[in-house]
Amino acid sequence: MSTPARQLVLDLPHRPALGREDFIVSDSNGAAERMVCAWPGWAHPALVVAGPAGSGKTHLVNVWRHMAGAGVIAASALDAAAAALLAGSRALAVEDADRGIGSEQALFHLMNLSREQGLSLLITGRAPPGEWTIALPDLRSRLRACPVAALGEPDETLLLTVLVKLLSDRQLPATPAAVSYLARHLDRSMASALAVVGALDRLLWDKPSEITRDVARRALAEIGKDGD
């Protein structure tokens, strides 16, 4: 008698909703959202969005990309050819500048172009530019002069709403009691919310069902949180 084959669990990417209407606004991110979405009425040609991992930087970049028709490039990939991306679209998002810049000279050139030709730059990082390691003095000075749209860790209301959104993105139904239980026992951070929803996805992959308080407790245990 053959035993049924177990379903192979693959860590396939889900597709989150990243439109402006999907960006959940609270006290911790509302000011940043308003600054980004004030485009094209920015007072400065370049804006920095700074916030911890999972705080919504990529979401805001996507919102702005659709508003401005902008290109998007990782800071680590910047080179002399990047100027063509900005010249072609008249708007460019440069992501994760705090994690390393491919060419500081190229970013400095982009900032000069934006100022001289009325183009727009959106630059993201986990911390404000004053905390980035920048070797080129002129670039360091130029970045520190940029307005900063700061994203904070979520407040309690935002964390609860984010959990609901992340579960919806992955099509994981949950009882209100389970979601409230998760929100009470998680660290108040986007990283924790992402981790526990990933754990729930893995737990229910073989046997999809509604997430109950017991399932939530098991997911918290998987990521090293005490839900008792």
Nearest-angstrom CA–CA distance, 140 and 125: 14
Q: Which residues of 218-228 are buried (b: 16+ CB within 10 A; e: fewer)?
A: ebbeebebebe
**Is 69:119 a contact under the CB 8 Å cutoff?**
no
pLDDT of residue 6: 28
**Is 115:147 a contact under the CB 8 Å cutoff?**
no
Nearest-angstrom CA–CA distance, 7 and 2: 15
pLDDT of residue 36: 95
pLDDT of residue 81: 86
Nearest-angstrom CA–CA distance, 57 and 55: 6
Question: Maximum CA pair distance of the chain?
Answer: 76
Which stretches in the chain have pLDDT values below 50?
A: 1-21
Domains (ranges, CATH) in the chain?
26-150 (3.40.50.300), 156-222 (1.10.8)
User: Which tokens in the block code for residue 87?
Assistant: 């010249």
